[in-house]
Amino acid sequence: MMTNKKSDKQELKGSDLNRKDHWEHVYSDKNAIEVSWYQQCPKSSLNLIKATDVEKSARIIDIGGGASTLVDFLLATGYQNLSVLDIAHGAIEQAKDRLGQHADKVEWIEQDITKFIAEESFDVWHDRAVFHFLTDTDDRLKYVKTMSNALNPGAHAIVATFDLDGPERCSGLDIVRYSTETLAAVFGAGFQLVETMSEEHKTPGGASQSFVYCRFKRV
């Protein structure tokens, strides 16, 4: 069983601090069920993780998992080696409070993904609505390098972003919209596209947001 471990906090400066501040403010201001990206059940993510056919002992990481209920459903399904990484302490605390004693079964990593160094490899990398916040080329390159280093050949990456007809901003921040083709191009030859799907997400406020989900295999 995994321990309840938190990575060392890195020194944050300038724009990094602004980024962290932004997300801490979001989670201090709002409850998990009020944010626009809230899903009662993250069905598409669960279906795509199931489609990888990994063992229940597989190491799965949810990048920018926030206070998402994905981890609850994965635990309930029997997955045993789960990690949730998020830049916001407040998001992790909300998820832990919700899970109660089950929170101890999860590795919680409070970290900016562009600074993250994986100490061990993962079998499944999941990211819904995080990569698209990286509007800076260097940050995207760091993300792809980190993801590439964290996954051995044959491992899986599931990444969901706003689709080309999705919103231009989220949580008051600019984002980059992707199609299956442009997302696959960013991840490059190290990732083979296995499956792609669209989703119309209904926000708690009733708006509709187009997402594209891609499942890749590490080559």
Residue 112 interacts with ligand SAM (CB under 6 A): yes or no: yes
Instruction: Give the Å distances, CA to CA, from 8 to 79, 109, 110, 211.
Output: 25, 9, 8, 33
Do the bridges between strand 81-86 and strand 106-110 make them parallel or antiparallel, or are there none, so unpaired? parallel
Q: How far is the C-alpha of 142 from the C-alpha of 38, rounded, in Å?
A: 27
Nearer to ligand SAM, 74 or 129 (CB): 129
Residue 130 C-beta: closest distance to ligand SAM, Å: 4
Sketch the per residue contact string, 18 through 37, with ligand SAM: x for CB under 6 A, - otherwise: -x---x-------------x
Q: What's phi and psi for 121, nearest 5 deg?
A: -80, 160
Nearest to 23 by CA among 71, 99, 78, 85: 85
**Helix or strand or coil: residue 143?**
helix
Q: How far is the CB of 139 from ligand SAM (least distance, A)?
A: 7
For residue 124, state whether it binds ligand SAM (rule: CB under 6 A).
no
Nearest to 114 by CA among 16, 213, 215: 16
Question: Is 128 among the residues that bind ligand SAM (CB under 6 A)?
Answer: yes
Task: Verify binding: residue 184, ligand SAM, rule CB under 6 A.
Answer: no
Tell me if residue 123 falls in helix, strand or coil. Answer: strand
> Which residue, 48 or 113, has its beta carbon nearer to ligand SAM?
113
Tell me if 211 contacts ligand SAM by CB under 6 A. no
Residue with tokens 């689709």: 163
Stretch that binds ligand SAM, among 50-58, 87-95, 99-107, 183-191 (CB under 6 A): 87-95
Nearer to ligand SAM, 28 or 192 (CB): 28
- Chain-centroid distance of CA 3 in Å reads 20
Q: How far is the CB of 148 from ligand SAM (least distance, A)?
A: 17
Residues of this chain that bind ligand SAM (CB under 6 A): 19, 23, 37, 64-66, 68, 86-88, 91, 112-114, 128-130, 133, 170
